[in-house]
Amino acid sequence: MCEFPRTFFYFVIQYALTNLLGGTMQQDLNVTIEQLYEGKPIYKHQLSNLLSSEDPDILQLLMDRADMVRRKYYGTDVYIRGLIEFTNYCRNNCYYCGIRRDNKAASRYRLSPEEIMTCCDEGYRLGFRTFVLQGGEDGFFTRDKVCQIVSSIKEKYADCAVTLSIGEWNRSDYQAFFDAGADRYLLRHETACEEHYNRLHPEDMCLNHRKECLFALKDIGFQVGSGFMVGSPYQTLDNLVEDIFFLAQLKPHMIGIGPFITHKDTPFTDEINGSLNMTLKLISILRLSHPRALIPATTALGTIHPEGRELGLKAGANVIMPNLSPANVREKYMIYDDKLATGLEAYEGLKKLKEKVSSIGYNIVTDIGHSKV
């Protein structure tokens, strides 16, 4: 046989096989998406295959399905939360975080209770009905101080929700915060795999304790939010599958995920940022598996891509958390490089944000915005 027909023959076989297998793979992924959409259980390997697909049609189908589910439960509503970053002191040393204890280059600040209240006043005037108090684990803010701040906000703004995001405490502390009037608590598990957790955190932190905190918070009666970073160093697809399974077990009211972004003064400075598409894919998968959850389009997503927030909404997110912190401290709460703190990220940009959100078919609402979980 002469060379040409043989090469041609191999080429034809290879072409046919590639298309056949590619086609089968795509069909399998379509099935996985439909199973997720219908709320049917799926296997870990199906999730792995979905996460490893780089097919843009698959991502689009996933986002479309997630958007349908989000519209079914929440319509086009987008809830806004006023984020008040009230301290960047932290006793922890998470390798990824810019406000870690050992970052001597960080310029530290604390807001006074009066300054925090001024943020709420301004926020309330603009239509915010949820205030999220976020900070490092700062020993200055004792249990009593936190309780006083929470109860004074609730006294003045009874029609508002107060969300805390201040890390790991004892169950009795969480109970005291709840009794003082706090409604919600955000505590990302960061990664559900212990080995991975230990590569992101020093020895004095442990995944089990973080998980215990989450279950305690739920048990006390908080609306609980958890989540993880996408593309954090050493993360594997299996880790992400574990994250999805852990959240299925926890059944949180809120799920916050965002891409990992490097910070120049941390041990992870030379690592690679998480990707937009992987984050969108995960938002959609989480929307499909938690139809009633509140899912923010996070600042980190807006930071890695100019349209990140909008794409996050289209992928199934239904919350945006503009920054209510005073302008002079905003650049100090720098948990990763180039974190957005102005424009549409800031409360001053609310009017523009409303326009932007309605231009893509959703509506910002002034509502306490409790979870429908």
**Interface segment toward ligand SAH; rule CB under 6 A; list 4-12, 105-113, 187-195, 354-362:** 187-195
Residue written as token pair 């905003």: 330
Q: Does 301 bind ligand SAH (CB under 6 A)?
A: no
**By the rule CB under 6 A, 263 interacts with ligand SAH:** yes
Cβ-based nearer residue to ligand SAH, 167 or 296: 167
Beta carbon nearer to ligand SAH, 207 or 261: 261
Residue 230 · residue 260 · CB < 8 Å: yes
Query: Which region among 8-16, 113-121, 129-137, 285-293 touches ligand SAH (by CB under 6 A)?
Result: 129-137
- Shortest CA distance to 77 belongs to which of 373, 367, 283, 293? 367
Sheet with strand 77-80: strands edge to edge: 319-320, 77-80, 363-365
- Dist. CA 321–CA 61, nearest whole Å: 27
Would you count residue 260 as binding ligand SAH (CB under 6 A)? Answer: yes
> Binding ligand SAH by CB under 6 A: which of 130, 165, 223, 279?
165
Give 153-157 contacts, CB < 8 A, sequence gap 24+.
Answer: 153/116, 153/117, 153/120, 153/181, 154/180, 154/181, 156/117, 156/120, 157/120, 157/124, 157/131
Stretch 80-99 residues interacting with ligand SAH (CB under 6 A): 96-97
| Close Cβ partners of 97 (under 8 Å, ≥ 6 residues apart) | 90, 263, 266, 335, 336
The region of 38-46, 53-61, 211-219, 256-264 touching ligand SAH under the rule CB under 6 A is 256-264
**Does 136 help bind ligand SAH (rule: CB under 6 A)?**
yes
Tokens encoding 271: 């690592």
229 binds ligand SAH (CB under 6 A): yes
Q: Does 252 contact ligand SAH by CB under 6 A?
A: no
Size of interface with ligand SAH, in residues (CB under 6 A): 19
Residues binding ligand SAH (CB under 6 A) = 96-97, 134, 136-137, 165-167, 187-188, 190, 229, 258, 260-261, 263, 300, 335-336
